[in-house]
Amino acid sequence: MSQAKAEDADSDATATAAVVPSADARDPAYFHYYAQFVHQQNMLQDTVRTSAYHSAIIVNGPTMFREKLVIDVGAGSGILSYFAVQAGATKVYAVEASAMSQKIQKMVDRTDRANPWLKDRLQVVAAKIEDVKLPQVDTLISEPIGVLLVHERMIESYLVARDNFLKPGGKMIPSSGSIYLAPFTDANLWTQTMAKVRFWKQNNFYGVDFGPLVQEARDEVFGQPVVGCFDSRILLAPAIAHYVDFETITMAELQNIVIPFEWKVPFTGIIHGIAGWFDINLGGMILNTGPYAERTHWQQVRFLLKEPLAVNAYQTVKGWMRLSVNMSRSYDIVAELVTGEDADLSDPMDITSTEPPSPAERETPSGFGKRRGEWGLHEQVYMYGAELDYTKPEFLAIYSPESGSAAEVEMTDGTWEATVL
Distances (CA, A) of 86 to 67, 91, 116, 261, 285: 11, 11, 11, 42, 19
The catalytically annotated residue of 96, 130, 152, 262 is 152
CATH number of 3-174: 3.40.50.150
Active site residue 374: no
C-alpha span between 284 and 158 (Å, rounded): 19
Domain(s) of CATH 2.70.160.11: residues in the chain? 178-387
The catalytically annotated residue of 7, 67, 130, 143 is 143
Helical axes 79-86 vs 47-59, angle rounded to 10°: 30
Active site residue 143: yes
* Cis status, amide bond into 266, omega within 30 of 0: no
* pLDDT by 10s per residue, the chain, length 421: 444 444 444 444 333 333 456 667 678 888 898 889 999 999 999 999 999 999 999 999 999 999 999 999 999 999 999 999 999 999 999 999 999 999 999 999 999 999 999 999 999 999 999 999 999 999 999 999 999 999 999 999 999 999 999 999 999 999 999 999 999 999 989 988 998 999 999 999 999 999 999 999 999 999 999 999 999 999 999 999 999 999 999 999 999 999 999 999 998 999 999 999 999 999 999 999 999 999 999 999 999 999 999 999 999 999 999 999 999 999 999 999 999 777 788 888 877 654 555 555 544 444 468 999 999 999 999 976 555 666 666 566 666 565 433 445 566 666 656 554 4
Predicted local distance difference test score (pLDDT) of residue 290:
97
Q: What are phi and psi of 364, to 5 degrees?
A: -75, 160
C-alpha span between 13 and 181 (Å, rounded): 31
Residues 6+ away with beta carbon under 8 Å from 370:
336, 337, 338, 343, 357, 361, 362, 363, 364
Domain(s) of CATH 3.40.50.150: residues in the chain? 3-174
For the chain, the straight-line distance linking the first and the last C-alpha, in angstroms and rounded, comes to: 63
C-alpha span between 140 and 145 (Å, rounded): 14
Predicted local distance difference test score (pLDDT) of residue 350:
78
CB of 160 closer than 8 Å to CB of 10? no
Predicted local distance difference test score (pLDDT) of residue 343:
75
Topology (CATH level 3) of domain 178-387 = Hnrnp arginine n-methyltransferase1 (2.70.160)
Class of residue 80 by CB neighbours under 10 A (exposed 0-12, middle 13-18, buried 19+)? buried
CB of 238 closer than 8 Å to CB of 417? no
Helical axes 37-44 vs 27-34, angle rounded to 10°: 60
Number of residues in the chain: 421
3-state secondary structure the chain: CCHHHHHHHHHHHHHHHCCCCCCHHHHHHHHHHHCCHHHHHHHHCCHHHHHHHHHHHHHCHHHHHCCCEEEEECCCCCHHHHHHHHCCCCEEEEECCCCHHHHHHHHHHCCCCCCHHHCCCEEEECCCHHHCCCCCEEEEEECCCECCECCCCHHHHHHHHHHHHEEEEEEEECCEEEEEEEEECCHHHHHHHHHHHHHHHCCCECCECCHHHHHHHHHHHHCCCEECCCCHHHECCCCEEEEEECCCCCHHHHHEEEEEEEEEECCEEEEEEEEEEEEEEECCEEEECCCCCCCCCCCCEEEEEEEEEEECCCEEEEEEEEEEECCCCCEEEEEEEEECCCCCCCCCCCCCCCCCCCHHHHECCCCCEEEEEEEECCCCEECCCCCCCCCCHHHHCCECCCCCCCEEEEEECCEEEEEEC
Which of 122, 42, 120, 109 minimizes the C-alpha distance to 80? 122
Predicted local distance difference test score (pLDDT) of residue 7:
43
